[in-house]
Amino acid sequence: MSTATFRIWRGERGDGRFEDYPTTVSEGMVVLDAVHQIQSDQANDLACRWNCKAGKCGSCSAEINGKPRLMCMTRLNELDLERPVTIEPMRAFPHVRDLVTDVSWNFRVKQKIQKFTPTAPHAADGTWRMQQRDIDRVQEFRKCIECFLCQDVCHVLRDHQLHDEFVGPRFLVHIAALEMHPLDTADRTAELREAHGVGYCNITKCCTTVCPESIAITDNAIIPLKERVVDRYYDPLKALVRLVRGGTKGESRAT
């Protein structure tokens, strides 16, 4: 048993300050354990969102020593406990209280994205057939737990606050999961370029770095979507091919 100091952001609606809480720590503890201990012993009114404590619900997102992380997946032995460990709420969303932010903007954004639109069933019994190889790619995107750490670290949202023009990495992953699905027929390329603002991403890969599910957000979702936009809008050779072949949806739906 030893003592460590946790410097936790306290306040409401963006107005607040850091407060230091020294507490005992032991082997195997994670940051969320320490926060719960402080909540129990020193600050009963400390607001903190959490649920599964297993890195699967995405509720306990915060900034620990300046890095967006899940509190339940950050072990204390990864941190320098000789110095105070800072814990702040995510900065890309409106602050509610202490470590809690209002992430409802994300849910409103999701509603604006074209839903999964499957092709007609392949069999008379109303079922579809697809090959595992084709579904493997989108399977990676389905690992997302919607912790919104990628949204928090994205400088387009965090620093430039372009929430009205850019959906952020989480929803580009969601769109990639739909767009690359072998059964989906909807075409989201125009929306990607305009309403969803994929062009705002400047590929810093911060979203990939903080993803607790290790989804290769930039390489496997955002850049392929950018390339699909290039196919449609910035490639005269592709435009010529489309003119000759007919149609506007490009090659991606071809079997």
Partner 1 sequence: MAYAPLPIAPRRFGETMRTDAWWIQPAVIFLLFSAFIVYSTWAALQGNHYTYGPYLSPFYSPELFGDSPHAWFGAKPGWWPSWLLFSPAILILWAPGGFRFTCYYYRGAYYKSFWADPPNCAVGEPRSSYLGERYFPLIFQNIHRFFLYLALVFLVFLAHDVWQALWFTDAAGHRSFGIGVGTLVLAANTTLLGGYTLGCHSLRHMVGGILDRIAERPVRRAMYDCSSCLNRNHMQWARLSLVMVMFADLYIRLCSMGIWTDWRLL
Which spans of this chain sit near partner 1 (rule: CB under 8 A)?
A: 7, 9, 14-20, 63, 65-68, 80, 83, 86, 88-89, 91, 95, 130-134, 153, 155-156, 158-162, 179-182, 184, 197, 199-206, 209-210, 218-219, 223-224, 226-231, 233-235, 250-255
Give me the least distance between CB of 111 and partner 1, in Å please. 23
Contact 231, 238 (CB under 8 A): yes
Residue number, 75 or 160, with CB nearest to partner 1: 160
The token pair at 31 is 């940051």
Shortest distance, CB of residue 83 to partner 1, whole angstroms? 7
Q: Nearer to partner 1 by C-beta: 110 or 205?
A: 205
Nearest to 200 by CA among 247, 241, 238, 159: 159
Distances (CA, A) of 107 to 71, 127, 250: 22, 30, 30
- Beta carbon of residue 190, minimum distance to partner 1 (angstroms, whole number): 14
Dist. CA 105–CA 90, nearest whole Å: 13
- Nearest to partner 1 of 54, 133 (CB atom): 133
- Cβ at position 21, least distance to partner 1 in Å: 8
- The nearer residue to partner 1, 106 or 218, going by C-beta atoms, is 218
Distance of closest approach, residue 150 Cβ to partner 1, in angstroms: 11
Q: Which is nearer to partner 1, 6 or 60 (CB)?
A: 6
Q: Nearest distance from residue 13's CB to partner 1, in Å?
A: 9
Query: What CA–CA distance (Å, rounded) separates 58 from 50?
Result: 8
In 29-63, which positions are buried (b, 16+ CB within 10 angstroms) versus exposed (e)?
A: bbbbbbbbbbbeeebeebebbbeebebbbbbbbbb
Strands (E), the chain: 2-12, 15-25, 61-64, 67-70, 85-88, 95-97, 100-101
d(CA 112, CA 178): 13
- DSSP assignment, residue 130? -
CB of 82 to partner 1, least distance (A): 11
Please identify, using beta-carbon distances, which residue of 88 and 146 lies nearer to partner 1. 88
List the one residue out of 77, 114, 79 whose CA is nearest residue 196. Answer: 114
Nearer to partner 1, 51 or 161 (CB): 161
